[in-house]
Structure 1
Amino acid sequence: MSVILQISDTHFGTEQPPVVEALLALAWQLQPDLIVLSGDVTQRALPAEFAAAAAFVARLPAGPRLVVPGNHDIPLFNVLQRVIDPFQGYRQCLGSALEDSRRLPDVFVTGVNSVRAWRHKHGSLSPEQIEAVAERLRRAGPTPMRIVVVHHPLDVHDAGDLGDIVHGASEAVRAWARAGADLVLSGHVHVPLCRPLAVRYGPEAGACWTAVAGTATSYRIRGGHPNSVNVIRVDRFAGEVRRVLEQRDYDSERQAFRVAATRDLSDRVLTVITR
């Protein structure tokens, strides 16, 4: 079995210490094979916030990490730095790679940077990035699961968040589904979602799912959704591969992350909505 813990939108600078401690406890309990941080690690890309984020990462169980930046991980008010080197603080504390890949026995995971300094909030994927991810997926070879990580989502739960769908989403869905993607992980909107991309994009999405995580530790929750993270499990049994995603919500009474929903990622939803 391979276990992946997806942590998104920690927004250090607005973190809640009890929630941070509960998340660390969950990570040590799970002992995941890979930890994914899908962006907005900080609130305003300040040195103290990056230092707090780095300290948090250092307290996680040892093992592979895959981190992609979010729009909050580049300066908002320091326009000069945003133009010259927007990812300077991110690189110093979280590593130089903005787009990286990890391979587990049962899973191939690859990240892509959707942050644009001139947009700041909204994300974008260039044709070159979309094709590069597709090529990495194709070159992964036979594997039970292929996952793409991008901060800005390809789908959203609420109609009011449609403007937050990453620019280039339709092209990415089409290319990545053809290249064998099974799941796209993202964050940004702080509202959890897990469903087949065919619900929004129709047959061109193939069997690919998307999972949007809520904010992991920040008090900046939305719509009454509690802090949450995702746990992906890939297991082989009797010649079959089972791929399951658990949404873990923070329970303030127990000060722990509990399973709120479980979804079998082999299921298909046939209802199609228009974007």
Structure 2
Amino acid sequence: MFRLAHLSDAHLGPLPDVTYRELASKRAVGYINWQRNRRRHMHDAVIDTIVGDMKAMMPDHIAVTGDLVNLALDGEIELARQWLETLGAPEDVSVVPGNHDAYVPGAFDKTCRAWAPWMSGDGQSHPVDRHSFPYLRVRGQVALIGVSTARATAPFMANGYLREGQGKRLAALLEETAARGLCRVVMIHHPPVRHAVPQHKRLFGIRRFGRLMARHGAELVLHGHSHIPSLYYLEGANGPVPVVGVAAAGQSPGGKRPPAQYNLIDIETDGAGWRLKLTRRGLEGASLPPVDFETRDLTASSSEKVVSLRR
């Protein structure tokens, strides 16, 4: 059995000192949002609790599906790199970037340079940049495929983008790993499902992603961005593909969204196919340790069309 842990949207804080020059951009809007909202509900102590509990479950690998930072300030990007070092060795942790990690023009390139060891494919020798995605890592019988939807957007927008070039590279990786008989896990920040998030946060390229699943298939898709635990199914080449979201890893209890959670996915094969069991663990109250919210056989549920697991 292979145990994969999944967390997302840590939005690590606190913010470093911000200059007026840095705020002369979309960051001004994000800074106000941080002061009015995120600062009160996103806490490092919550993340520490979630990560500690997750490590106690002894996962074989950890998938982080984006939004490690808030405004993509240089200090934040460096802080996130240090946090990744505490999370695990690069070979044991796979990261894909989110929209906050590419908040303003130029930030995504800095993110790629700083977090490269956690966003590199097996045997990759060239520097990590926007053309490095999707990347492929194989751990045991599991293929971890990291897709980037991150791009700087206008103020009040948080959209993601899956362009044709990356789509073609993703198709090739899905075919290659299927031929090798691997369990294919696609990691992406924006949910590749219609109406999963408001229009100003949606993914441009949902139809493209859906066609890829229908033609080539996958065994699992993991995403973040919505800050809610969710489950959908997409049509796949070999049957429905579960698409799993997760609550924000830094969300404290008492907010509008569910408090912090992470996912555990146990993957095993009986020789004829793959079985995937999802367990959601997270905070139930301010003083309580993480608990199990749900255990679900994703394979057995594959006859369902669309399922939302909001609490």
User: For this structure pair, what is the TM-score category when the shorter chain's length is used for normalisation?
Assistant: 0.7 to 0.9
Q: Does 1:155 align with 2:193?
A: yes
Offset of residue 157 of structure 1: 7.2
Q: Does 1:108 align with 2:176?
A: no
Structure 1 distance, partners of 2:189, 2:253, is 17
* Alignment-derived partner of residue 258 in structure 1: 291
Structure-2 change in CA distance of 1:180 and 1:204 (3 Å)? closer
Letter in 2 for 1:70: G
Map residues 41-120 of structure 1 onto 2, 5 A cutoff: 41-62=68-89, 63-76=91-104, 82=105, 85-95=106-116, 97=128, 99=133, 100-118=135-153
Letter in 1 for 2:187: V
Structure-2 change in CA distance of 1:265 and 1:162 (3 Å)? farther
Letter in 2 for 1:104: R
* Alignment-derived partner of residue 49 in structure 2: 22
Structure 1 distance, partners of 2:218, 2:255, is 29
Aligned residue pairs: how many?
A: 261
Offset of residue 142 of structure 1: 3.5
Detail structure 1 runs of 4+ shifted over 4 Å in the superposition.
219-222, 237-240, 270-273
Structure-2 change in CA distance of 1:163 and 1:269 (3 Å)? farther
Of 19-28 and 41-50, more deviation after overlay is shown by: 19-28
Structure 2 distance, partners of 1:24, 1:108, is 23
Offset of residue 224 of structure 1: 3.7
Structure 1 distance, partners of 2:96, 2:254, is 21
Structure-2 change in CA distance of 1:129 and 1:246 (3 Å)? same
SS of aligned partner of 1:251: coil
* Alignment-derived partner of residue 223 in structure 2: 186
Contact 2:216 2:237 in 1 (8 A): no
Contact 1:8 1:40 in 2 (8 A): yes
Structure 2 distance, partners of 1:195, 1:54, is 31
* Alignment-derived partner of residue 145 in structure 1: 183
Q: Does 1:169 align with 2:206?
A: yes
Structure 2 distance, partners of 1:125, 1:221, is 34
Contact 2:46 2:250 in 1 (8 A): yes
* Alignment-derived partner of residue 38 in structure 1: 65
Structure-2 change in CA distance of 1:206 and 1:237 (3 Å)? closer
Structure-2 change in CA distance of 1:106 and 1:48 (3 Å)? same
Contact 1:46 1:89 in 2 (8 A): no
Letter in 1 for 2:302: R
Offset of residue 178 of structure 1: 2.0
Structure 2 distance, partners of 1:101, 1:254, is 39
* 5+ residue gaps, structure 1: 77-81
- Normalising by structure 1, we get a TM-score of 0.83
SS of aligned partner of 2:258: coil
- Normalising by structure 2, we get a TM-score of 0.74
Structure 1 distance, partners of 2:166, 2:159, is 16
Of 219-228 and 92-101, more deviation after overlay is shown by: 219-228
Structure 2 distance, partners of 1:239, 1:185, is 23
* Alignment-derived partner of residue 79 in structure 1: none
Structure 2 distance, partners of 1:238, 1:91, is 38
Q: Does 1:6 align with 2:27?
A: no
Deviations 1:69-123 (A, max 9, x none): 11101244xxxxx1xx332331243115352221122211101111222456101
* 5+ residue gaps, structure 2: 14-38, 117-126
Offset of residue 43 of structure 1: 0.8
* Alignment-derived partner of residue 124 in structure 2: none
SS of aligned partner of 1:256: coil
SS of aligned partner of 1:23: helix
* Alignment-derived partner of residue 232 in structure 1: 265
Structure 1 distance, partners of 2:98, 2:306, is 29
Structure-2 change in CA distance of 1:172 and 1:139 (3 Å)? same
Cα RMSD (Å): 2.8
Deviations 1:30-58 (A, max 9, x none): 22222111111101112232233222221
Contact 1:184 1:211 in 2 (8 A): yes
Structure-2 change in CA distance of 1:272 and 1:32 (3 Å)? closer
Instruction: Tell me the percent identity.
Output: 26
SS of aligned partner of 2:160: coil
Structure 1 distance, partners of 2:287, 2:195, is 27
Structure 1 distance, partners of 2:291, 2:208, is 36
Contact 1:157 1:192 in 2 (8 A): no
Q: Does 1:248 align with 2:276?
A: no
